Chain A
Amino acid sequence: MLQLSAAIAGLVTGGAYALMGLSTLLTYRLVSVVNFAQAAVGAFGAFAMVILYEEGWPLVLAVPAGMIVGAALHCGLGAIMVRWFAESSEGVKAAVTIAVYTGLVAVGLRLFGAQHPHRFPSPFDDPAFTLGGVVVTWTAIVTMVLAVVFAAAPAFLLRRTKIGLLLRAQAERPTTAELIGVRVPRLSMIVWGVAGAASSLAIMIIAPQLASDFGSQAALITPALAAVLIGAFRSFPVTLLGGLALGVLQGLASTWQAVQQFRGVLPFVVILVVLVWTRRGDRWDEPA
């Protein structure tokens, strides 16, 4: 019984992981960058929103403003990528984002204070229903719906629309796409902006239920990347499921005596297992 409730409670965190994972996958699929700074950018947008909210702005204005901050910051990172690292390998690009991540965390801690965390508004805090002894809030439902939208929209966009076709072309062969007349830099910037705004929105929604300091929010990138890895850096729906599964697994782990103290490292274990599993062919299928 406790296991069931813990698993249900874990779905909320799982939704959060999925949201961040899907934003990260969006950036990867559309501009070929494994962005370690994705959650930090989102946290920047979310904290900008909180500060405006505390200044007395209504939520309907503060939320878009925060998303704009996230978008602008992500565009800045995108500009660096497009200008100087467009032809670099994925490894180099990822390394650049790790450097940016470290810098953003340092600046974020300084700007938004570490000691006294800001109070995130949680307009969807009311209980929606009770399931398996767990009171589920509207936040959980909103997170879940948003995660499904995050998973479905890019998949639809890429597969069914003309702009999706251009985006795919640009992601796979940027130079070729540019040669045949796709305006690659401009399109990239739009993608960077949208992904930044989406991450900010994701963090805004999940911040009230997790440790609400800048460092913890930026660290959401680890479970997010684990989720993306489960989706093999390709599939939006599988990333969604991966994120949810990771949350449920962490919930379950807290009830299981033997593993509960390793709850925090579960994303790393998942990353490891997925890597070994996906790479098994490389080794085992080689002729002896």
Chain B
Amino acid sequence: MSRALVKIGGIVGAAVIATSLVAGCGSSGDTIKIGAIAGLTGNFITEEVVKTAGRVFDDVNDAGGIGGKKIEYIVKDDAGNPQRTAQVARELADDGVVAMAGSGSFTDCDVNDAFYRQQKISSVMAVGASPKCYQSPNIAPVNVGPFTLITAELLFASETLGNQKVCNFTVVLPGSEQAVNDAIGQWEKISGKKLVVNDTTVQQSGDLTPYLLKAKQAGCDAVLFNPGEQLVVPFLKAAQTQGMSDVDFLLLAPAYTESVAKAVGGLGLKVYAGSEFEPFTAASDANKGWKDAVTRAGAQPTAFSQGGYLAARFVVDVLKSIKGDITRESVNEALRSMQPISNPMVGTPFIFGPGERHAPNQASKMVELKDSAWVPLGDFITVPTSS
């Protein structure tokens, strides 16, 4: 009886050891797992972001990987749905990712910040959209983000264009009102000016003409408007109807797309947008590497895809600097002790660092709409940091 038990125990023990060896070789041993969350379906599609980042990782793998190990890039679709965002982050953690790179989800920071802290997962985001993305010890987006961009664009209006009556109309998403007000406060401090109209109550529904009438009545010579394409197009069309061709319209990065250029290019309005990076429509040397990657990835070239490219590149550089095993701990250590990485696509160097919050990118270029195409304007506008 006891002999049989020993026998069985021996077989079971051997089996356990064998499977764990096989499993060990199959998963963490061979590849470096990097995760990303993006909207592949649903309301916010950021497919081009992860496709471009994936291309960068594939190139690294084709060149032999990092220390002989291949990068396994695991992209999960959150469909723009917060529940899914939370769920896929847990799936990625269970998969054993060493870090996140190139995420392009608008709910990721708000939903998963606490989880990333708890699991000690660092995320180099491609597109940070909510204030949380810039206030976490575990997240560092490579893009400027909507808040610093507001300050940069207001500076562009008051300093470069010399506008006297600057007005702001923003759609405020839940939880970001403070960040928007801080960004405006920052501009007021630097420029010593005040907004003539500051309306942060713009709704995503209904006709936008009443807001334009308000701007007209206040005599605004510059109007900042933050939403994406689906609202920017009717807004500018209504502005044209109301004859506001002498006003400078300043849009944020989500409106800097080919389809907006096509839709409102012929309206005869003065339209500018912040590009977050080296403008993606610029045929500059700075864009060469990204352009090549995004083309070979078969993805749409957008400012967001630049974010995906940069996030992947920065993470690869950091991984290459690691001596020894690449684990969650060693990646975290490397990110926190890294040297700043300069890239001509961004105005300020990227650094993760040990801080409690990360907003490494503080500079944006502007683009102007001319003949249904976005034309890059001037140099990076760097927001002087005060905090």
Chain A contact residues, CB within 8 Å of chain B: 1-2, 5-6, 9-10, 12-13, 109-110, 113-117, 119, 122, 125, 127, 133-135, 137, 208-213, 215-216, 219, 247, 250-251, 254-255, 260-261, 263-264
Contact = CB atoms under 8 A, between A and B. Distances in A.
A211 B201 contact: no
A122 B237 contact: yes
Given A209-B207, A211-B205, A255-B214, A125 B241 contact: yes
Contacts of A122: 237
A260 to B, nearest CB: 5
B2 interface: no
Contacts of A133: 213, 216-217
Interface stretch (B9-17, B38-46, B310-318): B38-46
B210 A213 contact: no
Given A2-B217, A12-B207, A119 B42 contact: no
B355 to A, nearest CB: 32
Contacts of B257: 116
B261 to A, nearest CB: 11
Contacts, number: 106
Q: Which of B41, B211, B213, B257 has the most CB of A within 10 A?
A: B213
Q: Which of B230, B231, B234, B238 has the most CB of A within 10 A?
A: B230
Q: Top 6 nearest A-B pairs by Cβ distance?
A: A261-B201, A9-B209, A254-B210, A213-B230, A13-B207, A264-B203
Contact of B205 (A5, A6, A110, A264): A264
B243 interface: yes
A215 B234 contact: no
B205 A210 contact: yes
Contacts of B213: 2, 5-6, 9, 133-134
A114 B231 CA distance: 12
A208 B45 contact: no
B207 A251 contact: yes
A215 B43 contact: yes
B26 interface: no
Contacts of B216: 133
A114 B206 contact: no
B299 interface: no
B204 interface: yes
A271 to B, nearest CB: 15
Contacts of A110: 41
Interface centre among A9, A115, A254, A255 (most CB of B within 10 A): A115
Contact of A209 (B211, B230, B234): B234
A209 B203 contact: no
B242 interface: yes
B44 A263 contact: no
A255 B210 contact: yes
Interface of B: 41-46, 199, 201, 203-207, 209-211, 213-214, 216-217, 229-231, 233-234, 237-238, 241-243, 257, 259, 262-263
Contacts of A135: 241-243
Nearest to A115: B45
Contacts of B199: 260
A260 B229 contact: no
A182 B204 CA distance: 46
A10 B207 contact: yes
A116 B204 CA distance: 16
B44 A209 contact: no
Given A5-B213, A10-B210, A134-B209, 19 more contacts: A6-B210, A9-B207, A113-B45, A115-B45, A115-B229, A117-B259, A119-B233, A127-B241, A210-B206, A210-B234, A211-B230, A211-B234, A216-B204, A251-B207, A251-B209, A251-B210, A254-B211, A254-B214, A264-B206
A264 B210 CA distance: 14
Contacts of A255: 210, 214
A8 to B, nearest CB: 9
B234 A119 contact: no
A13 B206 CA distance: 6
Nearest to B212: A9
A147 to B, nearest CB: 15
A8 B375 CA distance: 37
Contact of A109 (B43, B234, B237): B43
A64 to B, nearest CB: 24
Q: Which of B206, B213, B259 has the most CB of A within 10 A?
A: B206
Given A109-B42, A134-B209, A254-B211, A263 B203 contact: yes
A6 B238 CA distance: 13
A166 B259 CA distance: 49
A209 B237 contact: yes
A134 B242 contact: yes
Contacts of B204: 211, 216, 264
B196 to A, nearest CB: 14
29 contacts: A2-B213, A2-B217, A10-B207, A13-B207, A109-B42, A115-B44, A115-B45, A117-B230, A119-B233, A127-B241, A134-B209, A134-B242, A135-B242, A208-B237, A209-B234, A210-B205, A211-B204, A211-B205, A212-B233, A215-B43, A216-B204, A219-B205, A247-B206, A251-B210, A254-B210, A260-B199, A263-B205, A264-B204, A264-B206
A13 B234 CA distance: 13
